[in-house]
Amino acid sequence: MKINDSLIYVVEEPTSQKEFMRDKLSSRFIKSSIKYNNIFKNDVLSIRDTSLKKGDIIRVDFPDENPNGEVQHMDLDIVYEDRDILVINKPPNMVTHTSRGDMSNTLLNYTLGYFEEIGLKRKVRFVNRLDRDTSGLVIAAKNSFAHAMISEQFQNGVVKEYLAMVKGTPKDMIIEAPIARGEDGILREVREDGKYSKTSVKLLKSFREYSLVRLRLYTGRTHQIRVHMKHIGYPLLGDSLYSDDTTLERQALHSFKVIFNSPREGRVELTAKLPDDMKQLLRK
């Protein structure tokens, strides 16, 4: 079995292996590492609790994995990459994950192709996902350790900013309006019994009939930006679900910026360039 990467820790003070691992890793990841014999103490398999002394080296291997989808190849717009993650600027009109109706030509398929190109035998684990029509930053974890670490950050709140083209000219504001699932199970709506949702709006540029805005998500509800902007009277251009606008063939929404901590590299602040269809609107 070829090992592409490992976690390596040097013990700084006497302790038990159980306590040492619990301090560093999630319980789910520890159980999986024990199950598949991936924990080593001073290069010797060590999956049972044992005493550790200063200077001992604990290594946790990431084993090879079979791909979790069809492997396909295309040039990806890679914004950032390190040992644990790959961040891609997803184009519009591409599904992020495979599903029953989309088993090929998804971002997952093409990311598996990239993994194959660099010799990484792993599943693709997306930390976040975007709608088919939304473009921008998507984070793929290269191992289960990174997926768990960054997913936890997203649950606790990371900086997520979007660029959008909307009808009219909104003012800078904070929207705090609860969002609930609509009766059809697809549409969302602002409703008193919904979940707390918060979005900030900053006007960047105004045109005759539409504007470019910068939006920050403080919560992560389904369709949050689209619902909130419709709620205040400035729906997204091209959003067929929440308006009748046909300026674009998809909602003019782009995941522009994200700030988080990569597990072993620290703080990462990334931005993604606008796709061509939104750029063309800015030139008019």
Comparing C-alpha atoms, which of 132, 195, 133 is closest to residue 164? 133
Model pLDDT, residue 4: 63
Two tokens, residue 141: 């974890």
pLDDT value at position 179? 98
**Best CA proximity match to 96, nearest among 136, 130, 122:** 130
- Residue pLDDT, tens place only, 232-250: 999 999 999 999 999 999 9
Given a cut of 80, is residue 125 above it in pLDDT? yes
Q: What pLDDT is attached to residue 280? A: 93
Give catalytic residue positions: 131
Mean pLDDT of 196-222: 96
- Candidates 3.50.50.60, 3.30.2350.10, 3.10.129.10, 3.40.50.970; correct CATH number of 160-255? 3.30.2350.10
Higher pLDDT, residue 202 or 283: 202
Query: Per-residue pLDDT tens for 26-72?
Result: 888 899 899 999 999 999 999 999 999 999 999 999 989 999 999 99
Q: Which residues contact 266 (CB under 8 A, 6 or more apart)?
A: none
Torsional class of 136: left (φ above 0), alpha (ψ -120 to 50), beta (otherwise): left
What are the phi and psi torsion angles at 195 (to 5°)? -90, 145
Output the six-digit token pair for 236.
Answer: 């997204």
Rounded to an integer, the average pLDDT of 80-107 is: 94
Q: What is the pLDDT of residues 246-282, one digit of tens each?
A: 999 999 999 999 999 999 999 999 999 999 999 999 9
Strands 78-81 and 44-45: unpaired
- Averaged pLDDT score across all residues of the chain: 94
Percent of the chain surpassing pLDDT 70: 99
As given in the structure block, the two tokens for residue 187 are 């549409």
Q: What is the pLDDT of residue 284?
A: 73
Q: What is the pTM of this model?
A: 0.91
Q: What pLDDT score does 111 carry?
A: 98
Rg (CA), the chain: 22
Domain ranges (residues) in the chain: 6-61, 160-255
For residue 27, what pLDDT is reported?
Answer: 86
Place of tokens 């598996």: 112
Give 185's DSSP letter. Answer: S
The whole-angstrom separation of Cα 16 and Cα 53 is: 9
Report H helices in 36-163.
107-117, 144-156
Position 2 confidence tier, pLDDT thresholds 50, 70, 90? very low
From the list 69, 185, 168, the residue with the least C-alpha distance to 116 is 69
Q: Is the pLDDT of residue 1 over 90?
A: no
